[in-house]
Amino acid sequence: MRPHLYFLGTSHGDLLITEFSPDSLNDRLLNLIVVPPFCEEMNKSRKMIADFSRLAAKNNITVSVIDLFGTGDSAGELAEATWEIWQDNLVAMVNQLKDSMPEIPIAMLGIRTGALLALDCCITNKMSLPNSLMMWQPVLNGQQFINQFMRLRLAAEMMSASTKVTMADLMTELEQTSLIEIAGYTVNKSLVDALISLNYQKLEQLPPRLKLSWFEVGLAPKTNLLPISQKLIERWQQAHSVHSEFISGDVFWQTQEITTAEILSQRSVERLLGSLNE
């Protein structure tokens, strides 16, 4: 199945959309927007996203994979990207689907930081709620994610520099120049600050009527969701229905070789179709 590529015009420039559609558009049941992860995790995830999207299309789900501003083949440079622009990107994608196919429900799949972006848009009322929100291995603590991201730079500095570089040094560099380069990616202070400010691990409850599915992936000896994830899901389940699953499979967004998690794709499609009847 060959995807259809097109550019979505927005106030911040054109965004590349990779669309996977059912053979018969009359059988379309759902429009799914895929919100990819950040930087190298996005590159590692592309095959997994494509394999999942083809399977979803075979099950009458139209999948739209969005390249956010400054990423992939969309307009702009990553160094110019802000959280607000990315929020606007999702709103534009939702509006385009609502205008072109108002009778078809819309769902979202957020992967890693893509889950954080999608959930943030739902919570801050940036857009009308999707029919359902699915998250793969979600990043919900932006500060923790940025710390992990910056450790890539620290590791590189340790290998090449004679003087020790600390996390504080990197934050000072970011403060003084408003830009920082990490593992070949240049990001700006506004984007870093926005991520640091977000921590939905402290969120007490979800928006009303939001149907949420949470998937995590790992290999033995891991057999369950992370303890912090289980605690948060149990808190949300006091007032909302939250579906959660642990899938045995490769952590495709961080493996050295490109890998996929076939069972995750299968269970995700089943869950998306099941959510239509809830």
> For the chain, what are the domain ranges?
4-141+200-275, 142-197
Instruction: Please give the C-alpha separations between residue 250 and each of 17, 36, 56, 58, in angstroms, as whole numbers.
Output: 26, 17, 20, 23
Residue 165, pLDDT score:
83
Please tell me the least confidently modeled range out of 95-109, 140-154, 160-174, 241-255: 160-174
Residue 140, pLDDT score:
96
Q: Which single residue is written with the structure tokens 């006091």?
A: 238
Residue 162, pLDDT score:
62
Please tell me the least confidently modeled range out of 10-14, 90-94, 170-174: 170-174
Q: Which single residue is written with the structure tokens 């606007």?
A: 88
Determine the average pLDDT of the residues in 114-139: 94
Asked if the model's pLDDT at residue 161 lies above 80, the reply is no
Count the Cβ atoms, other than its own, within 10 Å of residue 124.
10
Pairing mode, if any, of strands 4-10 and 13-20?
antiparallel
List pLDDT tens digits, range 180-225.
999 899 999 999 999 999 999 999 999 988 999 999 999 989 999 9
User: How does residue 159 score in pLDDT terms, banded at 50, 70 and 90?
Assistant: confident
What is the rounded distance in angstroms from the CA atom of residue 94 to the CA atom of residue 90?
6
Q: Which listed CATH number (3.90.1200.10, 1.20.970.10, 3.10.129.10, 3.40.50.1820) goes with 4-141+200-275? A: 3.40.50.1820
**SS3 label, residue 272:** helix
Residue 225, pLDDT score:
97
> Taking the model in full, what pTM does it have?
0.95
